[in-house]
Structure 1
Amino acid sequence: MSWSSVRGGGDDDDDELAIAFAHEHSRAFTILEAVERVRAHRVRVEEDAASKSRHHPPKRDDTLRVLVVGADRVEGTNPEATAEVFRAVLERGGVGDDARGFANVEILCAGPNVTVDDGIAEGEFHAVRGADDDEEEEDDEDDEEAPSPKRRRAGVSVGYHVGLYHDIASEGEEEEEEEEEADAPAERKASTASTFSGWVPELAVAFNAGMWGYSQDEWRPTIDRIVHAHKCPLVVTGYTVKEAESDEDALRAMTTPAAAADAGGGAGAGVEWLWETEANPFRSLRPRALRFDRSVYVPGDDAGDGEGAFMGENAAWMCLRAAA
C-alpha cells in the first residue's frame, strides 16, 4: 500500500491535502501496514509448521492489541483523542473472521512523557463509544432482523501508563506470583478491562524514538520485555533513514545474545529482523522544522525519500522480533 492507493489520488506529495492527510494518519497507517506484514509472516510460519506437524494453525481472537511505547501527548491525552489519532486503524482494520483482520482494538500508551487529562484513570482500559454504536442502537430500535453485513468500524479501548513499560510489566508479575494457580495467562489476557497485568500486545510501536541518543540501559529492559518476554514484534520509526539506521545499530547492540544475557533477560536469545531500516510508505509528508542545524541531529546531507535534507515523522522504519 501507499498514500496514493489509500487516498485514491495521484502521487503528488506536494499537494496540500495529501500532505495534511498523510501527517494526520501516518501513525495509524504505519500500524496497519505493520500488522499486515507481521500477520502475513506469522501465517506463513504457522502454516508451514502445521503442514509439518499435520495440525491446524492455532485460532486467534479478533482483538488487535497495540502497545505504543515512548508515547507522549501526540498520541492523545484522553481516550477519545487517542482513538481519533488511530481512527484509520479502527475504520480499515478489516473484519474479525479474516486471518489478518480484527473486530476490536486495544491501545496502551506507555512512557514517562505520557500525558492524560484530569479524571482519566491509569491502569485500566477505557472503552470509546463510536458512531457505529449509536447506529447499531438505532437499527435495533427500528428493526429486529439481523444486522447488515456491511464493514463496521472496530471497537476500541484505550489505556495509559505514565512511566516505563517494563516497570508496569514487572509489577504485574509480582502480583501474579501471589494469585491462585487457576489464574492462567490466557485468563489474565482476557481480563484487561481492570488491569494491564498479564496484557500481551500483538504489536509494539515506538514512534520517532531516537533510541540512538539514549544509554542502552534505558531502553534495553523495555525492549527485552516486549521482544523476548512477550514474543511481540517491535516497530521503530525515525525522522530520516539515516537516523533510523542509527537506531538500528543501537538496537542490534542491545539485543545481541551476549547483551541480553548480561542484562539478565531474554534467556540469551537473539532477534530476527522482519525488515531492516527502509523508507516508510506511510511517512508524514510534512517536513519537520528544527530550531538548530539538522546536521547536528543526523549527519549527512543526501537528498532522498525519508533522508537527507527532508525530515518528517515516521519517515523510516524497521521491525524486529525474538529469534525463533
Structure 2
Amino acid sequence: MHSLIDSQYDSIAVLDEQGVIISVNQGWQAFAQGNGGSPALSAGVGIDYLAAVRRSATTDSLAAAALRGSEEILAGRQTLFTLEYPCNAPDCERWFELHASPLLGTIRGMVVVHRDITARNLAEHALEHCMVADTAPDLAAALNRLRSDLGLAALPAARLRSLTSQGVRGMLKAGLDMQPGDPDYAEFHDRFLLYYSQDICVGTTVFPGIDELLGGFERRGSPWGIITNKAQRFTLPLLNQLGYAKRAACVVSGDSARRAKPAAQPMHLACALISREPARCLYVGDDLRDIQAGRAVGMATVAVRYGYLGDGAPIEAWGADHLVDDAREIAALAGIY
C-alpha cells in the first residue's frame, strides 16, 4: 500500500470504517512537518480524521461539505467525493482538492487525497479578463481546438464570450461539460493552456481607445503599467505581440509577488517599480478584485463597464471611486484630454 500511495498523490491518508487514520504517505508527513504540524499529526496513524472534520464543520461550510461527503463514502452510498478548498499560508494563497473514495477489497474504510492545485488555479488566472485587450477570440479558439481533437464541432465564439471571466473551468464546462474532479479534467486543463499559449495573440485586439490613452500618458511623461493575475508565461508574450511590453513602466504578473490580487502585494510592487506612492496612482480594472486591491493600498480606483464582467456582484457594488464606459472617460479622469 505504501509504495502505491507514495507514488501518485501529494498527501494521502487511509482511514478505517470509523474514520481513524491507519496509514499515511510521505506527502502527508512532509506537509505536516513543513507547516508546523505536531509530531502526532505528522505520523498521522491513530488520529480521528473524521472527528477533526466534524469539529470544523460547526463553523466552516466547506468542512461541513467534506463531512457529508466522507460519511456518504463510509456508508457505501457514494464511490467518489471531491471538493476544492483554500488553505492559505501566512505569506501566500494556496488551494487544495480533496478526493475521497472507499477502500477496495474486504477491509472497510476510505482513502482521502489532498492534492495541491495552487499551480493549476494560478494558471487559470491566465484567462483573467483584461481592460486593455479583448482576448476572448483566442480563448474560444483554444477551446474549439480541444473540441476538434474529440471530433466535436466548433462552438460560436459569441456564445463563449461571456464565459471568459470564469477561467479555464468555465470554458471547459461550457465546451466539454467537464469540471474539476472529473477523471480527465487535469489533462484537458493543461492542453487548453498549451493551445492558448501557442496562439496567444491571433484574434486578440486592443479595446477601442486604449492605445490613444496610453499614448497620452506617454506624451505627458506619466508612467503607466500593468498589474494582472495572469501568469508571467502568458502576460509577457501577449504584451510583446501587442507592442506594449517595452512601453510599460512595469508589468506585474500573478506570480511576480507572493500573493495575487486582491492582495496588496502586487500593488506595492508596481508602485516601487515606477517610483510612485499609491496615493498618486489611478488604478483601472474590470473585476471586483482589481478594485479591492487598489483600495487596499489607497489608490484611486476606476471600474470599466466594458469587458466580460462575469456573473458576480454588479459593478456598482464594487466600491470603485469612478465608473466608466470607455477609454475616453478614463483619459478625462486622468486629465489627458
TM-score normalised over the length of structure 1? 0.24
Q: Which has the larger radius of gyration?
A: 2
> With CA pairs under 8 Å and 6+ residues apart, which has the higher RCO, 1 or 2?
1
Indicate the structure with greater helix content: 2
TM-score normalised over the length of structure 2? 0.24
